[in-house]
Amino acid sequence: MSRPNILIVMADQLAPHFTGAYGHPLVRTPAMDALAERGARFDAAYCHSPICAPARFTMLAGQPVSAIGAWDNAAEFPASVPTLAHYLLLAGYRTILSGKMHFVGPDQLHGFGERLTTDIYPADFAWTPNWDDPHTRIGKWYHNMDSLAEAGQALATYQIDYDEEVGFAAVRRLYDLARDPDERPFFMVASFIHPHDPYVARPEWWDLYDHGDIDLPEPLAGDAMDPHTRRIRRGIEADTVGYTEGQCRNARRAYYANTSYFDSWVGRLTEVLNETGRRDDTVVIATSDHGDMLGDRGMFFKFSFFERSARVPLIMAGPGVANTTVHNVCSHLDVLPTLLDIAADGAAWPELGASIAGRSLWELATGGTDTVDETTGEYTAEMTSHPMFMIRRGRHKYIGCDADPPLLYDVESDPDERHNLADDPGCAALAGAFAAETAQRWDSGAIREQVLHSQRSRRVLHAASPSGGTHSWDFSPERDAANEYVRNHMDWAEAGPRSRFPRLA
């Protein structure tokens, strides 16, 4: 096979800061460690938008939020937007999705020729924010402190149920691909929900960690909090219901446990590649949609451009990938062109149906250099009333929003982002240049009007579609049970050898 297979194993809400692969002294991630030990670890990778659906849509499309209307977790992902799955289909790949992708709208495939499981979250407009009334909590689906009050261990949860199904389906499909005489390369995404809250872990993962060893975030004084942090704390009820130190420790312990659980699926899937002889012709990529503040700045979950919310792990291993650490700033916008380079194997890309915002990381992954050291981000979801923009270039990160004072951090000397340089006289020129660039890149007022129009339309549509009253967009996997295992129209003596791997001589 000249072109490699591609396997993306994706977590949900996993910040690289809380993995052994990125240096956390406590969290055990042996499978991700093993990928990094034989591959490329990207140390400054970001999601484009720190919330589930927009992060995923922008990664698949290689286009920013404002280009495709990926405003929030209830924004429709238009079927007319080309995705990396479409391009890989054109390049001759089989495209397979197992697990979460949070597609909203009637198109639940977006270029994936096979989808093995349903999604875990709704595909309709139910979770539409309301910028016309931004100070009112939407209690039905806003994150809140229940995730901390209920943190701990359990034998089963809906998230455990889901990830067991996702992992089983992905493993089984990898075996099917090995048994299949079809020699086309495959592109598979196995996308898990852990370690996303609720912070609840099975005992075998919970028991990996000693309660007294769990590290706690450094406190941040209330008067040092920026307006968006205060909005998030109010939205998730951290400043009203609140949480105790014990609850914070429980949440972090369960998060670490579920990170190890997710890592076990990375290990299982790579083990199957080994077993089926596919390790040396498969590029494996481990990443997440976004991170989790996990108590930093008094916040949990995501929604902001601070490091633990917006940074993602990005580890790549496989044929052609060098054993290297990449310090260049990059983002999920770069995944699409990177995969096109992998799939092209030196040939031309398929014709693009839309301009893309990112650049290929393949040169960096294979041990080369790149002068580009920057990326951008956009956030237009809940707990704000105006678009928020981020520019990360070199060591500096700038965050701008019409409703808030600007934020500027040197993330190399100040990785916890405690010192806002935007008002520092010594950084006035730098802050001014970033502000001017933000105004030039984005028409904030026009984008806000687009967001408001979309929200108002979707609220009307959702109100006109009472539960159970219309056809659901939620994906229901097709299953041809009449042709599974052994059936009456099959030769029993042929069914066994056909499904066996390795094949009998």
- Tokens coding 491: 């030769």
Amino acid present at 93: Y
* H/E element, 447: helix 444-463
Per the rule left: phi > 0, alpha: psi between -120 and 50, beta: everything else, 197 is beta
Which residues, including other chains, have CB under 8 Å from residue 415's CB and lie 6 or more apart? Answer: 307
- Edge-to-edge strand ranges of the sheet holding 5-12: 114-115, 94-99, 186-195, 5-12, 282-288, 314-317, 40-42, 324-326
**Chain position carrying tokens 């484009």:** 48
| Secondary structure of residue 418 in the 3-state scheme | coil
| Domain extent for 295 | 5-375
| In-domain check, residue 72 | yes
| In-domain check, residue 388 | no
* H/E element, 186: strand 186-195
| In-domain check, residue 18 | yes
Burial 5-44 (b: 16+ CB within 10 A, else e): bbbbbbbbbbbbbbbbbbebeebbbebbbbbbeebbbbbb
Amino acid present at 21: A
**Tell me, what's the pLDDT at 469?**
55
**Omega within 30 of 0 (cis) for the link into 319:** no
CATH of the domain at 187: 3.40.720.10
Which residues, including other chains, have CB under 8 Å from residue 411's CB and lie 6 or more apart? Answer: 307, 392, 395, 396, 397, 417
| In-domain check, residue 233 | yes
Q: How far apart are CA 148 and CA 244, in angstroms?
A: 9
Contact predicate 314/42, CB 8 Å: yes
Q: How far apart are CA 436 and CA 441, in angstroms?
A: 9
User: Could you tell me whether strands 5-12 and 282-288 are parallel, antiparallel, or unpaired per DSSP bridges?
Assistant: parallel
**From start to end of 366-465, where are the E strands?**
374-379, 388-393, 396-401, 404-410
| Secondary structure of residue 461 in the 3-state scheme | helix
Contact predicate 3/187, CB 8 Å: no
**Tell me, what's the pLDDT at 324?**
98
Helix pair 245-275, 158-179: axis angle to 10 deg: 10
User: Could you tell me whether strands 314-317 and 282-288 are parallel, antiparallel, or unpaired per DSSP bridges?
Assistant: antiparallel
Residue 200 phi/psi, 5° resolution?
A: -130, 130
Catalytic residue among 17, 48, 102, 386: 102
| In-domain check, residue 389 | no
DSSP string of 107-140? ---TT-SEE-S--SS-SSSTT---TTSTTS--TT
Number of residues written out for the chain:
505
CA angle (88 as vertex; 102, 353 as ends), nearest 5 = 85
Q: How far apart are CA 186 and CA 173, in angstroms?
A: 11
Domain count, the chain: 1
| In-domain check, residue 399 | no
| In-domain check, residue 462 | no
Tens digit of pLDDT per residue, the chain (505 long)?
Answer: 479 999 999 999 999 999 999 999 999 999 999 999 999 999 999 999 999 999 999 999 999 999 999 999 999 999 999 999 999 999 999 999 999 999 999 999 999 999 999 999 999 999 999 999 998 888 888 899 999 999 999 999 999 999 999 999 999 999 999 999 999 999 999 999 999 999 999 999 999 999 999 999 988 887 789 999 999 999 999 999 999 999 999 999 999 999 999 999 999 999 999 999 999 999 999 999 999 999 999 999 999 999 999 999 999 999 999 999 999 999 999 999 999 999 998 888 989 999 999 999 999 999 999 999 999 999 999 999 999 999 999 999 999 999 999 999 999 999 999 999 999 999 999 999 999 999 999 999 999 999 999 999 999 999 988 655 567 899 999 888 998 888 888 887 888 888 888 888 7
Contact predicate 116/98, CB 8 Å: yes
Q: How far apart are CA 335 and CA 288, in angstroms?
A: 12
Q: Is 427 one of the annotated active-site residues of the chain?
A: no
**Tell me, what's the pLDDT at 1?**
45
Catalytic residue among 52, 248, 330, 401: 52
Beta-bridge partner residues of 190: 9, 98
User: Could you tell me whether strands 324-326 and 40-42 are parallel, antiparallel, or unpaired per DSSP bridges?
Assistant: parallel
Q: Is 102 one of the annotated active-site residues of the chain?
A: yes
Q: How far apart are CA 318 and CA 296, in angstroms?
A: 35
| In-domain check, residue 142 | yes
Is the pTM above the cut of 0.85?
Answer: yes
Q: How far apart are CA 54 and CA 50, in angstroms?
A: 8
How far from chain centre, in Å, is Cα 381?
Answer: 16
